[in-house]
Structure 1
Amino acid sequence: MNYLKVLYNVLAKVVPLYMAMILAYGSVKRWKLFTPDQCSGINKFVSLFVVPFFSFHFISINNPYSMNFHFILADSLQKLLILFTLFLSSRFSSRVSLECSITLFSLSTLPNTLAVGIPLLQGMYGDVSVSLMVQIVMLQSLVWYTLLLILFEFRAAKIMISHKFPDSADLISAVDVHSEVISLHEKDECLETEIQVREDGKLHVRLWKSASVKSDYFSINYSSFGDCLNDAINRNVSGVGTLRSKSLNMVQCGRGGGGSDGGYRSRDKIFLPVMGPTLVSMREEEDEEKINSKDDNYYEINGLNRANKPCGEKHEIEGPKLLKFFSRSRKVQPEIAIQCEPEPNIEPKPDPEPEPKPKPESVPKSTYLPPARVMTKLILTMVWRKLIRNPNTYSSLIGLAWSLISFKWNVTMPTIVANSVKIMSDTGLGMAMFSLGLFMASQPRIIAGGKAMAAYGAAVKFIVGPAITAATAVAVGLRGNLLRITIVQASLPLGILPFVYAKEYDVHPDILSTAVIFGLLIALPITLVYFILLGLIK
């Protein structure tokens, strides 16, 4: 084999792509040609238009009736074997968490086949590899990325349910999610809950996005509504909880368990505005009472009564009497400053001892998660909402449908449509690599997770993944160039979409960011080494 000729063909295919990536990186880091907003706009254009047209073009021209099922089987077995191994490890070892399993699955099984794999393997093995890479791209878009999204939403559902229903999960019989909620991951906004207790004691839960919290509200988390009120009484702080259910007096409160009266507490939030000297009672009404502005309120904090009237001096609560309010979605407030006129000769009242709470007797022992039927419906609902908002889903499905029709009945695409798709798809590789260069420039560091983590991710990506792929390929009977193409495509760098999901769901984004960037930089020498070593095997 003339390795110099093959090397030149590979460089001729790949170097222009790296040139686009380098230009994008230098445009941001060195020449400051693009602002962050402009980079965001370019990336959005690439993800919404360029990549979907690019995917549609390659999938639509691929003959689905001549797919190599042994090649697909080898690739699918590699992913299933890794997934099964990670599942067993997480079941029998506490060191392998769900987050680690998702990250390891992404690193070892989801390469950047579309942007890097097609030109790279075309230069190594010719046009026969393009059809095989398109088959991998189609399965990734329709199957494996969907499975990855299911894993992320399953993790988000577990966290949400453990926060809001730690002792009542098995009592949930149905969960309805408002149409504006597209993910169970609470990143910027909390999810509010509404619960209805049915005649059989089961809970019907509704989820929706919480409204923005006003600046004169403080958010506090406790283990139950009783804890909220007890703490308010002990600290002499008046509070009111928002009530959003018509059929059940359910308090939006923090870190709760089951209750004895009605049998339910939510782990949501209770909003405590600074109110008058007496507690404002909870009311079961369809419309919530409007809360007076704090200019007309009377403050009572830690026994220090202060009328809210104009004054020029600012007093801060310090030391052990400092009130701190916590929220899962808000930062800790370091201190509360109150504009008021000081009142001398008033001594602080000592905090009374809280009365011990009786243990509930009528609450049944609950499991960690709702029934499998409820969880499955909830997760599939959220995954479906994600997929229908992703244009690449439509492009892959439409491309597959058109290829099935065109190759079955020899139907050709109209010239106007074909040329429109071709113009957009021709920009696919260049714009995709340009977008990756902008992504690299937007990161604070090339190796965000540290050198040790970069080495660990590189070992999983470039050694473990290809080794398992080689084993499954040999097991299904692949030989010759098919075996070599299968192994080399497994050694490609990580795709960008797993990082996007990891960033959105906050699951090891630094590791995957490093894997994407570092992998792109070393992808060419790594794949060339695999190509040369595999070429020596007859």
Structure 2
Amino acid sequence: MIGWEDVYKVVVAMVPLYVALVLGYGSVRWWKVFTPEQCGAINRFVCYFTLPLFTFEFTAHVDPFKMNYLFIGADAVSKVIIVAVLAFWAKCSSKGSYSWSITSFSLCTLTNSLVVGVPIIKAMYGPAAVDLVVQSSVIQAIIWLTLLLLVLEFRRTGLGFSSNNSDKDLEGSVDNTEGSRPAFWCLMKTVWVKLAMNPNSYACIIGLVWAFISNRWHFEMPAMMEGSILIMSKAGTGTAMFSMGIFMALQEKVISCGASLAVIGMILRFIAGPAAMAIGSIAVGLQGDVLRVAIIQAALPQSITSFIFAKEYGLHAEVLSTAVIFGMLASLPVLITYYAILEFVP
């Protein structure tokens, strides 16, 4: 049975995140400390320095030879379930569409695992559970965000953006045998170029490579290198939340997509996603705390990266921004509720 001490530990882990969020919001909306141009510089600092190093720090200390492959399998099964449901909806429903299926997939599956998940899960289930969250984050960055980027590029190509204001990489590389659309390999080249420009992808891949090498041959990271990474990575959580507060303050409306879409987004994020994860977890035979961690990490707030992609590709960015903002605000009571309910699961 969950006690007040357990709730207090979760609150202690969450409050500092909210403090950083409020400071970022207030610095722009109330105190006018930063101009919009300066806010952009802060966001770039977070994107290109603190978050990649924060991601690398966690990924590099994962032991790939001791990863919980049932846990990863449950995550994969849950996403396959969601893809199947969305594909059926897009195909068979008059209200279904390819574009909304992409957005719905983001809302159901992509979580803010490292920034929010690590402190929360550690407070709930201890350091051992943090490894599961990091594993989930690594798989999300390497596989699922890459696939999201791929389908977004396919969508933009299908709409004819190579011929209007798309990337110059696509110009002059057209397959005339397929209605003047870019050839498949040209499209793949564009996707990989964009992925290569994302430092968070580098951080995750390099961290995973180092994890393989260090655990296989028992190498230790040089103290000078470790210290250089730590001094920046320790700022990752705080600066990411501060940046999120700045983003909130720059919006004209808190609910920029309307109340009805905001509610749908919250249902997909906090109910549909965890429900699919519960089905996937039971299907592969997860039990005990691993099952609980799997479901709770699926109920974490919306991934900020999913909003960045939505904004870049012009696909329901207002829905994703609302999901990020309200997901952060609603996550504490939602996660505590899941934590309490899951205490009754054997």
What TM bracket, shorter-length normalisation? Answer: over 0.9
Matched, 1:450 2:288: no
Task: Report the equivalent of 2:284.
Answer: 476
Q: Do the aligned partners of residues 186 and 85 (structure 1) sit closer, same or farther apart at CA in structure 2, a change above 3 Å counting?
A: farther
Task: Report the equivalent of 1:159.
Answer: 159
Matched, 1:205 2:13: no
Task: Report the equivalent of 2:141.
Answer: 141
Structure-to-structure mapping, 1:219-238, within 5 angstroms: none
Matched, 1:379 2:187: yes
Could you tell me whether the CA contact under 8 Å between 2:27 and 2:34 is conserved in 1? yes
Could you tell me whether the CA contact under 8 Å between 2:296 and 2:338 is conserved in 1? yes
Identity %: 42
Which has the larger share of strand? 1
Task: Report the equivalent of 2:335.
Answer: 527
Q: Structure 2 length normalisation: TM-score?
A: 0.95
- SS across alignment from 2:306: helix
Could you tell me whether the CA contact under 8 Å between 2:170 and 2:187 is conserved in 1? no
Could you tell me whether the CA contact under 8 Å between 1:185 and 1:505 is conserved in 2? no
Shift of 1:105: 0.3
Corresponding residue pairs, total: 346
The unaligned stretches of length 5 or more in structure 2 are: none
Shift of 1:190: 8.9
Task: Report the equivalent of 1:507.
Answer: 315
Larger radius of gyration: 1
- SS across alignment from 2:268: helix
Q: Do the aligned partners of residues 383 and 44 (structure 1) sit closer, same or farther apart at CA in structure 2, a change above 3 Å counting?
A: same
Distance between the aligned counterparts of 2:254 and 2:322, measured in 1? 6
Shift of 1:185: 8.9
What amino acid maps onto 1:106 in structure 2? S
Task: Report the equivalent of 2:34.
Answer: 34
Matched, 1:394 2:202: yes
Q: Structure 1 length normalisation: TM-score?
A: 0.62
Structure-to-structure mapping, 1:250-329, within 5 angstroms: none
Structure-to-structure mapping, 1:30-429, within 5 angstroms: 30-160=30-160, 184=162, 186-187=164-165, 205=174, 375-429=183-237
Could you tell me whether the CA contact under 8 Å between 2:169 and 2:190 is conserved in 1? no
Shift of 1:89: 2.8
What amino acid maps onto 2:199 in structure 1? P
Could you tell me whether the CA contact under 8 Å between 1:488 and 1:530 is conserved in 2? yes
Could you tell me whether the CA contact under 8 Å between 1:156 and 1:185 is conserved in 2? no
Could you tell me whether the CA contact under 8 Å between 1:118 and 1:130 is conserved in 2? yes
Shift of 1:77: 1.1
What amino acid maps onto 1:420 in structure 2? S
Shift of 1:367: 6.8
Distance between the aligned counterparts of 2:228 and 2:168, measured in 1? 43
Distance between the aligned counterparts of 2:52 and 2:150, measured in 1? 21
Could you tell me whether the CA contact under 8 Å between 2:170 and 2:190 is conserved in 1? no
Shift of 1:90: 2.4
Distance between the aligned counterparts of 2:31 and 2:271, measured in 1? 37
Task: Report the equivalent of 1:462.
Answer: 270
Where relative contact order (Cα < 8 A, 6+ residues apart) is larger, the structure is: 2
Distance between the aligned counterparts of 2:29 and 2:103, measured in 1? 29
Shift of 1:84: 2.5
Task: Report the equivalent of 1:437.
Answer: 245
- SS across alignment from 2:174: strand
Q: Do the aligned partners of residues 77 and 43 (structure 1) sit closer, same or farther apart at CA in structure 2, a change above 3 Å counting?
A: same
What amino acid maps onto 2:49 in structure 1? F
Which has the larger share of helix? 2
Q: For each residue in 1:272-298, what CA deviation from the matched residue of structure 2 results, as whole angstroms up to 9, or x when unmatched?
A: xxxxxxxxxxxxxxxxxxxxxxxxxxx
Distance between the aligned counterparts of 2:200 and 2:111, measured in 1? 17
Q: For each residue in 1:354-404, what CA deviation from the matched residue of structure 2 results, as whole angstroms up to 9, or x when unmatched?
A: xxxxxxxxxxxx87686xxx6431321111110111111111111011110
Q: Do the aligned partners of residues 192 and 516 (structure 1) sit closer, same or farther apart at CA in structure 2, a change above 3 Å counting?
A: closer
Shift of 1:445: 1.2
Shift of 1:95: 2.4
- SS across alignment from 2:160: helix
Q: For each residue in 1:411-450, what CA deviation from the matched residue of structure 2 results, as whole angstroms up to 9, or x when unmatched?
A: 0011100111111111111111111111111111111111
Distance between the aligned counterparts of 2:69 and 2:39, measured in 1? 40
- SS across alignment from 1:537: coil
Shift of 1:2: 4.8
Distance between the aligned counterparts of 1:63 and 1:189, measured in 2? 38
Poorly superposed stretches of 4+, deviation over 2 Å: 87-95, 184-194, 366-370
Distance between the aligned counterparts of 1:94 and 1:523, measured in 2? 33
RMSD of Structure 2 on Structure 1 (CA)? 2.1
Q: Do the aligned partners of residues 368 and 129 (structure 1) sit closer, same or farther apart at CA in structure 2, a change above 3 Å counting?
A: farther
Matched, 1:6 2:18: no
The unaligned stretches of length 5 or more in structure 1 are: 162-183, 195-203, 207-263, 265-365
Q: For each residue in 1:488-509, what CA deviation from the matched residue of structure 2 results, as whole angstroms up to 9, or x when unmatched?
A: 1111111111111111111111
What amino acid maps onto 1:32 in structure 2? K
Shift of 1:149: 0.2
